[in-house]
Amino acid sequence: QQQQQPLSPASAVRQWGHLLAPFEQCEMLSFEQVWFVGKPTETGGAELNHGYDDSRGDYITVPGDHIAFRYEIIGGLGRGSFGQASLGVLRCQDHAIGQAVALKIIRNKKRFQKQAAVEASILAVLREQDPDDSVNIVRTYSSFTFRQAKLGHLCITFELLSINLYEYIKACNFQGSSLVMIRRVAQQVVATLRFLFRLNIVHCDLKPENILLRERGKTTVKVIDFGSSCYVDQRLWLRSRPMQVILGLPYGPPIDMWSLGCILAELLTGQPIFPAGEDEKEQLACIMELLGPPPRSLLETAPRANLFFDSGTWAPLACPPNSRGKTHRPSSRLSYPPTFLQRCLHWEPQQRMTPEEALQHPWI
């Protein structure tokens, strides 16, 4: 089933057609080369996309099966943007180049395909603008559509990296990391953000899970998952609810600097600096508990401020205890030390450091 050199589709059908479903035999003829066939699989009688999709539009993956008659599915690597099962990331063997890759396969639904197409185009620009692979962004190899019934599944292949920073924090028993390691991560991610800033691209979903170590035991990292990214003049619906989105304010590159501050704080302490709230009101209360209330000048321009603040005094509305009985009360002053992190965690976006300013900061 594995070939040193590819077969023509006609030759592959003659040699391996007995392993394929009738749909696959016809499908194979649309490919220029066949590198891998895989083991026979049952489609389970499902009606969606010739039985290859589940009811949600996710592709049903089976270890040992093929993707596009080139990639052998080894197993899963995790889930990316758009929710629990909207897209999967697979570990695959690319038989054309003889190495393991990560393969993201997008849900067969219009909304997810549309945003994934934006991601693929941004990744192509990033690769073109970084030919030397020097700005710590995951390397993409290819993108293509597979099983094209109606929309099909957009697939993007990437270099295979190591664990993400959340897994690293977990491996440290949530006790925090050394300042040497944190500074090394900061230097690399700020360089990435400077590169994105110059291209007018906003990542929009920076978090520990989206920064991966290149190798175990090393401190070199790469930024992944541009599934929520956009250009500065675009606005997309964000599944995550950062402060600016909760208040209804426009967002841009400063949103990534805020996220960087949160990531570095979590690396330092082993815990999220702003625990995830059960709703938007509690999320804002968690932020105010540390940073104090936002300035009035910001609230006066925020379309959704009246949901969380008194429209006359701009005082925070009371946040009831959550399901665990925890109550968050705004601090009257900034309780975080005036460091690199504070320059990232300003309420007002224009007061945050730019990536260029961050690279000039004495700590960096």
The C-alpha atoms of residue 44 and residue 288 are separated, in whole angstroms, by 51
201 plus 226 within the same structural domain? yes
90 plus 187 within the same structural domain? no
109 labelled binding-site residue: no
Mean pLDDT of the chain: 88
Give me the number of domains the chain comprises.
Answer: 2
pLDDT recorded at residue 92 = 96
High-pLDDT (> 90) share of the chain, %:
63
Domain boundary among 126, 158, 190: 158
214 plus 76 within the same structural domain? no
Q: Is the pTM of this model over 0.75?
A: yes
pLDDT in tens, 21-74: 888 889 999 999 999 998 776 654 456 777 888 888 889 888 999 999 999 999
Measured at the alpha carbon of residue 351, what is the angle toward residues 328 and 331, in degrees to the nearest 5? Answer: 20
148 plus 172 within the same structural domain? no
Which pairs with CB-CB distance under 8 Å and at least 24 residues apart come from 279-282? 280/241, 280/246, 280/307, 280/308, 281/307, 281/308, 281/317, 281/319, 282/319, 282/322, 282/328
306 plus 201 within the same structural domain? yes
183 plus 315 within the same structural domain? yes
The C-alpha atoms of residue 305 and residue 325 are separated, in whole angstroms, by 25
**Crossing angle of helices 179-198/254-269, nearest 10°?**
170
User: What's the CATH number where 219 sits?
Assistant: 1.10.510.10
pLDDT in tens, 272-319: 999 888 899 999 999 999 899 999 999 999 999 999 999 899 999 988
192 plus 311 within the same structural domain? yes
Selected catalytic residue, list 205, 233, 279, 310:
205
154 plus 185 within the same structural domain? no
Domain boundary among 111, 132, 158: 158
Which residues share a beta bridge with 316?
309
pLDDT band at 87 (very low <50, low <70, confident <90, very high): very low
Q: Is 55 helix (H, G, I), strand (E, B) or coil?
A: coil
326 plus 191 within the same structural domain? yes
pLDDT in tens, 228-254: 899 998 766 565 567 888 999 988 999
Q: Once rounded to an integer, what is the mean pLDDT over residues 170-180?
A: 94
Q: Is the pLDDT of residue 321 over 80?
A: yes
Burial pattern 219-254, b for ≥16 Cβ within 10 A else e, equals bebbbbbbbbbbbeeeeeebeeebbbbbbebebbbb
Give yes or no: 225 in active site: no
pLDDT recorded at residue 22 = 87
Domain with 312, as residue range(s), is 165-360
248 plus 271 within the same structural domain? yes
Domain boundary among 158, 185, 213: 158
Q: Structure tokens of 238? A: 């964000």
Length in residues, the chain: 364
Q: Structure tokens of 289? A: 């508990």
326 plus 283 within the same structural domain? yes
Sign of the Cα pseudo-torsion (9, 39, 36, 15, in order) = negative
The C-alpha atoms of residue 231 and residue 267 are separated, in whole angstroms, by 28
pLDDT band at 81 (very low <50, low <70, confident <90, very high): very low
The C-alpha atoms of residue 70 and residue 209 are separated, in whole angstroms, by 28
170 plus 149 within the same structural domain? no
